[in-house]
């Protein structure tokens, strides 16, 4: 178990290092580069098993589901092309139509060298937000795994194990049971987190609907989010408004239904800029209710709770199966000893 934890910690540390290098590269191009127009030459969906692309002879790790090749002519008159430029899901809808790539032109910030990746100006805020979010998640995971590793190390060093006949004849924890245990813990933890978070949002939803303040919010941005090429699109908006005290508030991006999307757009171009919302004055982090899209919010919260409980139930089933198989495995050597 300690070996598995060390592998997971090493992978998490490498992910953190890659995200840090990527963020520093973006900030370096923003600070030292210049703005120009580049053309999208091609796009490539990043595989889950091998999230790398080759930019010439250089392999590049891609932290988004889509990467593009950008071509531009530098100030030195040399035409350059860089592969493996990550694109956030918020901007993927501008580049992909189903599985087809739009060979569009876009404003980028570049450095005329062979190592610095260009930065798509309209996508930089979403990219940095995604990188920081992934970094926080990776840091939390590495910290939790580190605590688990130290706990197991202390347990293995100081705990007194039974050295009797039963322990000598008991079979070691097999690889198959280890995988089963890992899946059980994953479903229990992820399901519990999902159910708890959705239940919290359900409670906030009821409080907003009954006692929340009302405001007209500006939809500062509305866009189509494509998680992966070929997946159904998700529609999102960013909200900003002034609360009862006059303080500026911002929330988003937040998901909206396809029906509400059709109400505020024409041919996927935003035509409506304001919408009525309900919010909690006492909790700035609570997701506000878009009044015209209340049914979608209620469905999402309910689905999240039910989906989380299904994950927990599946984790309990796997845990019960693990206990049963472990007991059966432990009894088999003893049966052979008694027969002899």
- Tens-place pLDDT, residues 47-78: 666 677 776 666 777 778 788 888 898 888 88
**87 with 64: CB under 8 angstroms?**
yes
189 with 330: CB under 8 angstroms? no
How many whole angstroms separate alpha carbon 193 and alpha carbon 201?
Answer: 12
> In the prediction, which pLDDT does 228 show?
63
Question: Would you say residue 283 lies in a domain?
Answer: yes
Range of weakest confidence among 177-181, 223-227, 329-333: 329-333
Instruction: Give the tens place of pLDDT for each residue, 138-179.
Output: 888 888 888 777 777 766 665 544 444 444 445 555 667 777
Residue 335 placed within a domain: no
Paired tokens of 295? 């049914």
Residue 13 forms part of a structural domain: yes
Domain extent at residue 116: 2-129
Rounded-to-integer distance, Cα 35 and Cα 109, Å = 4
Co-location of 11 and 121 in the same domain: yes
Among residues 253, 269, 288, the one where a domain terminates is: 288
Question: Is 302 among the domain residues?
Answer: no
Both 7 and 115 in a single domain? yes
Instruction: Give the confidence band of 339 by pLDDT, cuts at 50, 70, 90.
Output: very low
Q: Which of 129, 144, 178 represents a domain boundary (last residue)? A: 129
Q: Are residues 7 and 124 in the same domain?
A: yes
Residues 115 and 232 in one domain: no
Distance (Å, whole) CA 231 – CA 86? 18
In a domain, 74, yes or no: yes
In a shared domain, residues 125 and 18: yes
* Count of structural domains within the chain: 2
CA-CA distance, 337 to 153, in Å (whole number)?
32
What is the per-residue DSSP string for 232-258? PPEEEEEEEEE-TTS-EEEEEEEEE-H
Tell me the C-alpha to C-alpha distance, in Å, between residue 256 and each of 89, 151, 168, 231, 233: 16, 43, 60, 17, 11
* Residue 241, strand partner residues: 249
Last residue in a domain, options 129, 154, 185? 129
């Amino acid at each position: 178990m300690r070996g598995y934890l060390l592998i997971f910690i090493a992978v998490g540390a490498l992910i953190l290092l890659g995200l840090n290098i990527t963020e520093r590269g973006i900030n370096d191009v923003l600070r030292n580069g210049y703005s120009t127009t580049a053309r999208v030459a091609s796009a490539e969906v990043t595989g889950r098993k091998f999230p790398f692309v080759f930019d010439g002879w250089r392999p590049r790790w891609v932290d988004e589901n889509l990467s593009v090749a950008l071509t531009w002519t530098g100030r030195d008159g040399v035409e350059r092309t860089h592969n493996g430029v990550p694109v956030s899901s918020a901007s993927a809808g501008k580049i992909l139509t189903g599985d087809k790539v739009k060979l569009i032109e876009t404003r980028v910030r570049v450095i005329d060298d062979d190592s610095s990746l260009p930065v798509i100006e309209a996508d930089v805020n979403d990219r940095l937000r995604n990188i920081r979010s992934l970094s926080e998640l990776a840091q939390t995971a590495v910290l939790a795994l580190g605590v688990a590793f130290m706990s197991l190390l202390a347990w293995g060093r100081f705990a007194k194990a039974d050295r009797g006949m039963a322990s000598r004849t008991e079979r070691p924890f097999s690889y198959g049971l280890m995988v089963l245990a890992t899946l059980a813990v994953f479903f229990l933890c992820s399901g519990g987190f999902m159910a708890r978070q959705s239940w919290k949002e359900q409670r906030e939803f009821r409080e907003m609907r009954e006692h929340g303040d009302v405001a007209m919010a500006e939809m500062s941005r509305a866009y189509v989010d494509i998680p992966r090429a070929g997946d159904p699109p998700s529609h999102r908006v960013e909200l900003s408004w002034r609360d009862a005290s006059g303080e500026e508030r911002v929330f988003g991006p937040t998901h909206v239904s396809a029906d509400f999307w059709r109400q505020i757009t024409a041919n996927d171009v935003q035509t409506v800029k304001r919408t009525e919302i309900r919010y909690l004055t006492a909790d700035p982090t609570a997701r506000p209710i878009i009044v015209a899209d209340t049914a979608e919010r209620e469905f999402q919260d309910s689905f999240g709770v039910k989906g989380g409980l299904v994950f927990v139930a599946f984790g309990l089933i796997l845990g019960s199966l693990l206990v049963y198989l472990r007991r059966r495995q432990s009894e088999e050597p003893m049966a052979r000893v008694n027969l002899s």
